[in-house]
Chains A and B, each alone.
Chain A
Amino acid sequence: MPDTLQEAIPAECMAVLVQLWDYLDDNLDPNAAEALRAHLMECAPCFEYRQFQESYRDAMRAVRLAGRAAPWDVRARLASALAVEATRP
């Protein structure tokens, strides 16, 4: 992958820009995934671009893992509402 976008982008590197997220999200067909994987193995800038995007994905997932729990009063209110609902015929 070229350092700047002013330079011409080789087709294989452009494919990484366009298809990388489909690849990381397992939404790329097997042949295209294999071609992308092969290019990532031989093109250092594209490999580093992949690392950049993977680290973004990991940081976003970490938000969920560190996410807050439902507060006490929400639980209490829901428990009460469900108890009333359960008595309905």
Chain B
Amino acid sequence: MPSTHNALTGRDAAFEQEALPWLDDVYRFALSLTRDEADADDVVQDTFLRAYRSWHTYMPGSDCRRWLFTICRNVFLRSRERSRPTVELESTEVDAAAAGSVYATAVREGLEDIFSRLDLAPAISDALDKIPEPFRATLIIVDVEDQSYEAAAELLGVPIGTVRSRLFRGRRLMQEQLLTYAMDAGFVSCRAAGEQRRNA
């Protein structure tokens, strides 16, 4: 396997040590944004070239992964040259009630432990693909990549309150998708399975 770490010399040691170790993370982030391997390859390459050229603007000791994600997101948006979609947001209370409704459905179907029982990685990837923007990008940044609201706001160029609203809706949409997946696949909870065995 060729090492990107050997490509640079001397003065570029800091870039090698701080930026290149995040290649896998940036690749995964680019792939989640583009949903296409070829497009992700191009975005990753452009991201690191831009980062290399702009390395003098990076503040040593700051969050390099976050800095690279910002560049990656900008590269992706420029590559798509699309306007930011506008989505009507419901009030927090309405979204909160809807989130409670998803949970109530899970309890009613005996699936309240669904997220802790199954290897949901494939289902989560499929579900994420079905989540509309801008909710999907916000979920990827905060829930998958474990970035802060502040970092997400910076990456997406929106206020923190907007990140919060998008997360609220996005999480509910994800849970609806995963619950539907579990019900369609015929999953039953451990408790329900035990009751079924006792009743058999």
Instruction: Establish whether residues A58 and B28, one from each chain, have CB atoms under 8 Å apart when the complex forms.
Output: no
Set of chain B residues within 8 Å of A25, measured between Cβ atoms: 142, 149
Report which of B7, B24, B27, B116 forms a contact with A79, defined as CB distance below 8 A.
B7
Chain B: minimal CB distance from A87 (Å): 10
Set of chain B residues within 8 Å of A64, measured between Cβ atoms: 28, 144-146
In whole angstroms, how far apart are the Cα atoms of A86 and B116 in the complex?
47
Binary interface encoding of chain B residues 2-13 relative to chain A, with 1 for a CB under 8 A from any of its CBs, else 0: 111011110010
Q: Known: A64-B146, A79-B2, A82-B4. Contact between A69 and B27, CB under 8 A?
A: yes
Instruction: Establish whether residues A56 and B2, one from each chain, have CB atoms under 8 Å apart when the complex forms.
Output: no
A22 at interface by CB-CB < 8 Å: yes
Report which of A17, A22, A53, A62 forms a contact with B97, defined as CB distance below 8 A.
A17
Instruction: Establish whether residues A63 and B146, one from each chain, have CB atoms under 8 Å apart when the complex forms.
Output: no
In whole angstroms, how far apart are the Cα atoms of A60 and B48 in the complex?
26
Q: Known: A68-B28, A69-B27, A85-B49. Contact between A49 and B7, CB under 8 A?
A: no
Q: Known: A52-B103, A78-B48. Contact between A66 and B121, CB under 8 A?
A: yes
Binds A, one of B67-75, B80-88, B106-114, B190-198: B106-114
Number of B interface residues, CB 8 Å?
58
Instruction: Establish whether residues B116 and A58, one from each chain, have CB atoms under 8 Å apart when the complex forms.
Output: yes
Instruction: Establish whether residues A83 and B8, one from each chain, have CB atoms under 8 Å apart when the complex forms.
Output: yes
Instruction: Establish whether residues B96 and A17, one from each chain, have CB atoms under 8 Å apart when the complex forms.
Output: yes
Q: Known: A21-B168, A52-B115. Contact between A75 and B1, CB under 8 A?
A: yes
Instruction: Establish whether residues B100 and A79, one from each chain, have CB atoms under 8 Å apart when the complex forms.
Output: no
Of B26, B93, B116, the most chain A CB neighbours within 10 A belong to: B116
Report which of B28, B52, B93 forms a contact with A82, defined as CB distance below 8 A.
B52
A residues with CB within 8 A of B: 1, 3-5, 9, 14, 17-18, 21-22, 25, 27, 48-49, 52-53, 55-64, 66-83, 85-86
Extra 16 A-B pairs, beta carbons < 8 Å, given A59-B120, A73-B41, A82-B49? A3-B107, A5-B97, A22-B164, A59-B124, A60-B139, A61-B146, A64-B144, A64-B145, A68-B24, A68-B28, A69-B27, A72-B1, A79-B3, A80-B7, A81-B48, A82-B7
